[in-house]
Amino acid sequence: MPGNRDVTASNEELRAGIDVFGATHPGKARIENDDQFFIATLHKSMRVQQTSLDDLSAFTRLQGASAYLLVVADGASGMLGARQASTTAVETIAQHIGEMIGCYYNFDVDMEQEFLNQLQNAVERAHDKVRGLDPFAAQGSATTLTMMALLWPRAYVVHVGDSRAYYLRGGRLRQLTQDQTAYEQLLDDGTMSEQQAEECSGLTHRLKNVLTSAIGGQIKPSIGLVDLQAEDVLLLCTDGLTQHVPDSDVARILGASASAEESCRRLVDLALERGALDNVAVIVGRCAAP
Amino acid sequence: MIQKKICMVGVFGTGKTSLVQQFVYSKFSEKYHSTVGVKIDRKMVDVAGTRVNLLLWDLAGQDEFEKTRSSYLRGSSGIFFVVDGTRRETLTGLADLLTLVQQTLGPVPAVIAINKIDIEDQWTIGDADVYGLIGEGRYIVKTSARTGVGVNEAFFWLADRTLRD
């Protein structure tokens, strides 16, 4: 199971750092894995070559991680090039953020809107790239994308599709994103009631798999943010997790695990135990205690 | 391009998200979604010949778990307070929020929307209750996110005032 762990962040504003880990698995019903995840730390770096100064502590804090970028993407199943779509989207996002993040190492109210615009630009660039993969295909490539850019204490979330972002605080799990599916749209506009949805479980299942917004398809990115606190736990995941693991189990596992890696492994294992009909990708980030 | 940040503030369940949805997308959802953190929408408007990009920060409603955070308010040019006309306690909760905004931003133009005018027969807030809210730089308006009554009027008043200030 591939993963990445970063417990080295020592930037003053990131307190003692964030323990981050990601994992993905093809699941039990599919051979290909169209899910992708990406975890990056963005660094403002000054390396002192030579000096007559005695105290270099003021400069060491400039060497830690300054921002985090977390991304999950789920290539839309049933379409040609699903893996290529999620791969292209994540690569493009990472490249765009990598190019522009140099201006935004610290949370800054005055620069915030520009930063948000850049996040949206990154998503639109990914959308254009994915659409360009096979412009002649009748049914083009598409992918969900949920990304979080973390400039402590603020976590910015840009979301397209039905992957999800959550945070756990004080044992309470909150979902930061709303699924952009036909199911949610019909409930929202009152075409279908929740009672009707329960009575037609087969239809509901199909509607939950129809995306109303996707990178490469019709795109309606939603943007949000939350200010984090010490001991908050973050989760980004694809629907391969949430179709098998309800919020109550997610909260229990995130709250009881000793590390991000343990959380990831337990979440993926539970999805596998319950059948794992789809690919699964998860990222867990644990903010350090004060 | 001129950009103005507007924060939607109020107790949970008053209709902040629905007002934004009505203003930006001209739609109303019967399903209640509790906002988590902040959701950001934008709308370009024309105010007296000036194009303004309104950045609408829809803040999670204050409840027993979460207080409204002053950090979200910083950089705002105007505030859109929302009260639910059918729930008197949302008016009581407004006092703390007015203080928080004053302490964080100083005097900024503010709309105070008494929402859900479409079910006015169920209101527990009367005109006399609202008189105490009248003040310089405040606009008090009755709105309905469901029907759209008062919605454009309120947002355009605020956009106009942010340009003047």
pLDDT digits (tens, 9 = 90+) for B14-50: 999 999 999 999 999 888 888 999 999 999 999 999 9
What radius of gyration, in Å, describes the C-alpha atoms of chain B? 15
The predicted model gives A215-228 an average pLDDT of 94
Residue pLDDT, tens place only, A231-279: 999 999 999 999 999 999 999 999 999 999 999 999 999 999 999 999 9
Residue pLDDT, tens place only, A91-101: 999 999 888 86
For chain A, the three-class secondary structure string (H helix, E strand, C coil) is CCCCCECCCCCHHHCCCEEEEEEEECCCCCCCCCEEEEEEEEECCCCCCCCCCCCCHHHHHHHCEEEEEEEEEEECCCCCCHHHHHHHHHHHHHHHHHHHHHHCCCCCHHHHHHHHHHHHHHHHHHHHHHHCCCCCCCCCCCECEEEEEEECCEEEEEEECCCEEEEEECCEEEECCCCCEHHHHHHHCCCCCHHHHHHCHHHHHHHHCCECCCECCCCCCEEEEEECCCCCEEEEECHHHHCCCCHHHHHHHHHHCCCHHHHHHHHHHHHHHCCCCCCEEEEEEEECCC
* B98 at A interface, C-beta within 8 A: no
What is residue A197's predicted lDDT score, i.e. its pLDDT? 77
Tell me the chain A residues in contact with residue B36 when contact means C-beta distances shorter than 8 Å: 174-176, 224, 226
More confident residue, A1 or A195: A195
What is residue A209's predicted lDDT score, i.e. its pLDDT? 86
More confident residue, A186 or A110: A186
- Whether B27 sits inside 8 A of A227 (CB atoms) is no
Which of the listed CATH numbers 3.30.360.10, 3.40.50.720, 3.60.40.10, 3.40.47.10 matches domain A12-175+215-287? 3.60.40.10
**Full pLDDT tens readout for chain B, 165 residues:** 899 999 999 999 999 999 999 999 999 988 888 899 999 999 999 999 999 999 999 999 987 777 888 999 999 999 999 999 999 999 988 988 999 999 999 999 999 999 999 999 999 999 899 888 888 899 999 999 999 999 999 999 999 999 987
Please state which architecture CATH assigns to domain B2-164.
3-Layer(aba) Sandwich (3.40)
* A185 at B interface, C-beta within 8 A: no
More confident residue, A79 or B23: B23
Query: Which of A110-124, A125-139, A229-243, B48-62 is predicted least confidently?
Result: A125-139
Chain A with chain B: Cβ pairs closer than 8 A: 47
Cα B10 from Cα B15, distance rounded (Å): 9
Tell me the chain A residues in contact with residue B72 when contact means C-beta distances shorter than 8 Å: 227
Q: From the CA of A258, how many Å to the nearest CA of chain B? A: 25
More confident residue, B17 or A109: B17
What is residue A77's predicted lDDT score, i.e. its pLDDT? 56
Tell me the pTM: 0.89
What is residue A113's predicted lDDT score, i.e. its pLDDT? 85
Residue A121 has pLDDT above 60, yes or no: yes
Tell me the chain B residues in contact with residue A189 when contact means C-beta distances shorter than 8 Å: 27, 29
